[in-house]
Structure 1
Amino acid sequence: MNPEDLERLVTLRMPFGKYEGTLIADLPGPYLNWFAREGFPGGEIGRLLHLMHEIDHNGLGGLLAPLRRTSQA
């Protein structure tokens, strides 16, 4: 993981599926858990979904708050 990955979580939108258009950082935990069970897609989106799952699962969503403020400014 690198700082750029965390920034991507608050700027990149889900490109497909039930939550298409939702920021990766805003995806609900059960949806991320589904990917963890069924398998994450390949490429950057899969890597970021996996990272967001780890953040959500470990209750670390607060780490993204400063980045959200920065990306909205």
Structure 2
Amino acid sequence: MQIQPDTKKLIELAHYRMPFGKYKGRFLVELPEPYLIWFQQKGFPEGKLGELLRAMTEIKINGLEGLIRKIQKDFPKQ
């Protein structure tokens, strides 16, 4: 069985910007890994932002930021 990522969700993740704090306005892929790990330890926010931060943490831990940057380039935000 092959796992197929949800393209729409990956595109949304690639273009989502941090809505608050020190990194407000930055793409989630630009957040430093220690910041994401801190969220992981303290608890991610509820809702969509929490889901996206959780996903970005896994992407960064596994060294897959290049995938997100390629999506940003290949699928510019409309």
TM-score (norm 1): 0.87
- Between Structure 1 and Structure 2, the one with more helix by share is 1
Amino acid at match of 1:21: G
Quote the RMSD (CA, aligned, Å).
Answer: 1.8
Q: Take 1:50 and 1:40, find their aligned partners in 2: how far apart are those partners? A: 7
Q: Which runs of 5+ in 2 are unaligned?
A: none
How far does residue 63 in structure 1 lie from its aligned partner after superposition? 1.3
Structure 1 residue 66: Cα displacement: 2.1
| In structure 2, C-alpha distance between the alignment counterparts of 1:25 and 1:5, rounded to whole Å | 14
**1:16 aligns to what?**
20
Count of aligned positions: 73
**TM-score, with structure 2 as normaliser:** 0.82
Mark the runs of 5 or more structure 1 residues left unpaired by the alignment. Answer: none
Runs in 1 of length 4+ with deviation above 2 angstroms? none
Percent identity between matched residues is: 44
